[in-house]
């Protein structure tokens, strides 16, 4: 049988990385088995619908290469793939389930439901309407009374099933409620629609978060009532912010767009989230999309919560930068440099080359380069540095010497470097003393995004010479 997995997001906001990981695993699993990956939009809860959320799902999945074989926009033989467009078919299945004893009509009012509290003070439906006769139900429906359809869950007993990650799991029916399957507006709830759709769309492997581990028995009960084959289940561990808190979209943590905006590239996001709850057999951490497709397996999915480690994700992003060619990195860096404070001031390709090994996030490019845009009356005290064995007096003595030897040289990095070192030797100074004084004089900054010769190359000869002269004059 061909493997068919699905990603079934609810368009309720941005695409949280937990959701993206679900999509990724479902995609990788299907592709690794030569199967199909399906996108289905679960929008039956219209009150939670957020404008633009659907477009964001499409664009994020496309951008990250998680292309679906069937889905709302591309179609497929099991469509429509948007639940609200499938509204008419759920009622027939709900009626069938009622006939098979797996569900019943419920006419209880909101006021009555408010009065129902179980022994733990939790509101739990008491199966009141289960005892209504078929005739009475028909009469009340015919008279236009509002109703819902609830699942009929046994009061006792347990339901066990095998999850491909968690193994054999079992839950007591007594802890479950007769949830609503069809709402009074004729829309199915998630609890019903997911079962009907997974069956009709011939989904072989249902992959979702562990929060569904304990409700799956209810779904299995429906598959059994209908006489349908249950799918296989693959539940994925939660992603935690730390050992106690879950990374959650409700707290506004970490959507795909947030990561991109904060300077990650999509390759890192995909690579890193693949490792949140899964690991390959080796300890390789930098894995391309192609490698993930080849290596992904259910055996590598962990039962334990994954802790999101931003430091590690940053490191990985930096590794991607290092592995790029200069030209590849420049395509990422260029738009940032063009919007930075140094836009149009220097050789952008050179700046990009300099940043490639020095940043872990694209946003750090502007942070590092922006200070180069200004050269005001900087604090002369930064010339004083104990470890470099410099101070303003030493600078006062060294800078005229530097000026002297630099004036007539050809301005290449190599020449600047060799000239400065020759001066070190001639004056019997330390490398650090000459390089520090030179670098500070030409940049006016204690911290620069590169060494002395690199700064010399960025600013060019004329600027450097005039800045050294200016510093000499200020020290006089
Ligand atoms: N719409 C559900 C969600 O976004 C999907 C869960 C599932 O995969 O069945 O959580």
pLDDT digits (tens, 9 = 90+) for 368-395: 999 999 999 999 999 999 999 999 999 9
Residue 296 has what pLDDT? 97
pLDDT at 119 exceeding the cut of 80: no
Torsion angles phi and psi, residue 151, rounded to 5: -75, 140
For 1-71+237-323, CATH number?
Answer: 3.40.50.620
Residue nearest (by alpha carbon) to ligand 1 atom 3: 9
The overall pTM is greater than 0.85? yes
Give the pLDDT band of residue 49 (cuts 50, 70, 90): confident
Q: Residue 274 and residue 280: Cα distance in Å, rounded? A: 10
pLDDT at 107 exceeding the cut of 60: yes
Q: Where are the beta strands (DSSP E) in 300-438?
A: 306-307
CATH class label, 375-475: mainly alpha
Residue 253 has what pLDDT? 63
Cβ(208) – ligand 1 distance below 6 Å: yes
Mean pLDDT for 234-255 is 80
d(CA 12, ligand 1 centre) in Å: 11
Mean pLDDT for 323-340 is 98
For the stretch 254-311, pLDDT in tens is 889 999 999 999 999 999 999 999 999 899 999 999 999 999 999 999 999 999 999 9
The answer to whether the 86-192 and 375-475 domains have the same CATH topology is no
d(CA 211, ligand 1 centre) in Å: 10
Query: Which atom number of ligand 1 is nearest to the Cα of residue 198?
Result: 9
Q: Does domain 86-192 have CATH number 3.20.20.80?
A: no
Residue 50 has what pLDDT? 83
d(CA 247, ligand 1 centre) in Å: 17
**Preceding amide of 80 cis, omega within 30:** yes
pLDDT at 252 exceeding the cut of 80: no
Q: Which of 33, 249, 286, 293 is catalytic?
A: 249
Cβ(9) – ligand 1 distance below 6 Å: yes
Mean pLDDT for 113-132 is 88
pLDDT at 20 exceeding the cut of 80: yes
Residue 104 has what pLDDT? 98
pLDDT at 249 exceeding the cut of 60: no
For the stretch 147-156, pLDDT in tens is 999 999 999 9
Q: Residue 56 and residue 33: Cα distance in Å, rounded? A: 28
Mutate which of 5, 6, 10 for ligand 1? The one with the most ligand atoms within 8 Å of its CB, which is: 10
For the stretch 181-192, pLDDT in tens is 999 999 999 999
d(CA 5, ligand 1 centre) in Å: 13
Half-sphere exposure of 125 (CA within 13 A, CB side): 23
Residue 346 has what pLDDT? 98
Query: In the chain, what are the domain boundaries?
Result: 1-71+237-323, 86-192, 324-370, 375-475
100 a catalytic residue: no
Residue 336 has what pLDDT? 97
For the stretch 383-433, pLDDT in tens is 999 999 999 999 999 999 999 999 999 999 999 999 999 999 999 999 999
Residue 244 has what pLDDT? 81
- Paired residues of 209 in beta bridges: 236
Residue 121 has what pLDDT? 78
Mean pLDDT for 219-239 is 97
Mutate which of 5, 8, 30 for ligand 1? The one with the most ligand atoms within 8 Å of its CB, which is: 8
106, 129 contact by CB (below 8 A): yes
């Amino acid at each position: 049988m061909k493997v068919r997995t699905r990603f079934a997001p609810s368009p309720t906001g941005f695409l949280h990385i937990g959701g993206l990981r679900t999509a990724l695993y479902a995609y990788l699993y299907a592709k690794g088995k030569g199967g199909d990956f399906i996108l289905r939009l679960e929008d039956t809860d219209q009150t939670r619908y957020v404008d633009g959320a659907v477009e964001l799902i499409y664009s994020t999945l496309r951008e990250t290469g998680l292309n679906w074989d069937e889905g709302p926009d591309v179609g497929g033989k099991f469509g429509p793939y948007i639940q609200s467009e499938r509204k008419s078919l759920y009622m027939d299945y709900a009626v069938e389930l009622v006939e098979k004893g797996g569900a019943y009509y419920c006419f209880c009012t909101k006021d009555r439901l408010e009065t129902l509290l179980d022994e733990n003070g939790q509101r739990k439906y008491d199966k009141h309407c289960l005892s209504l006769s078929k005739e009475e139900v028909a009469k009340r429906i015919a008279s236009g009374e509002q109703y819902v359809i609830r699942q009929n869950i046994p009061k006792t007993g347990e339901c066990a099933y095998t999850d491909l990650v968690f193994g054999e799991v079992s839950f007591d029916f007594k802890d479950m409620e007769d949830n609503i399957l069809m709402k009074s507006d004729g829309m199915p709830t998630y609890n019903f629609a997911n079962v009907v759709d997974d069956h009709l769309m011939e989904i072989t492997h249902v992959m979702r978060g562990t929060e569904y581990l304990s409700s799956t028995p209810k779904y299995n009960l429906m598959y059994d009532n209908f006489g349908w084959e249950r799918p296989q289940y693959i539940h994925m561990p939660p992603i935690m912010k730390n050992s106690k808190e879950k990374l959650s979209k409700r707290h506004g943590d970490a959507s795909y767009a947030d990561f991109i905006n904060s300077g990650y590239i999509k390759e890192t996001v995909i690579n890193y989230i693949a490792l949140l709850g899964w690991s390959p057999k080796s300890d390789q951490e930098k894995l391309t999309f192609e490698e993930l497709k080849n290596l992904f397996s259910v055996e590598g999915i962990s039962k334990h919560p994954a802790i999101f480690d931003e430091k590690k994700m940053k490191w990985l992003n930096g590794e991607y930068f290092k592995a790029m060619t200069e030209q590849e990195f420049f395509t990422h860096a260029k738009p940032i440099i063009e919007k930075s404070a140094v836009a149009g001031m220097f050789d952008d390709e050179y700046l990009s080359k300099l940043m490639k090994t020095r940043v872990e996030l694209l946003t750090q490019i502007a942070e590092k380069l922006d200070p180069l845009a200004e050269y005001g009356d900087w604090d002369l005290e930064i010339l004083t540095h104990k470890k470099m064995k410099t101070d303003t007096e030493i600078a006062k003595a060294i800078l005229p010497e530097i000026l002297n030897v630099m004036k007539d040289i050809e301005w290449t990095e190599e020449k600047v470097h060799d000239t400065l070192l020759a001066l070190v030797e001639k004056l019997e100074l330390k490398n650090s003393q000459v390089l520090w004084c030179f670098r500070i004089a030409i940049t006016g900054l204690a911290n620069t995004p590169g060494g002395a010769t690199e700064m010399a190359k960025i600013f060019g000869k004329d600027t450097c010479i005039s800045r050294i002269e200016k510093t000499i004059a200020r020290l006089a």
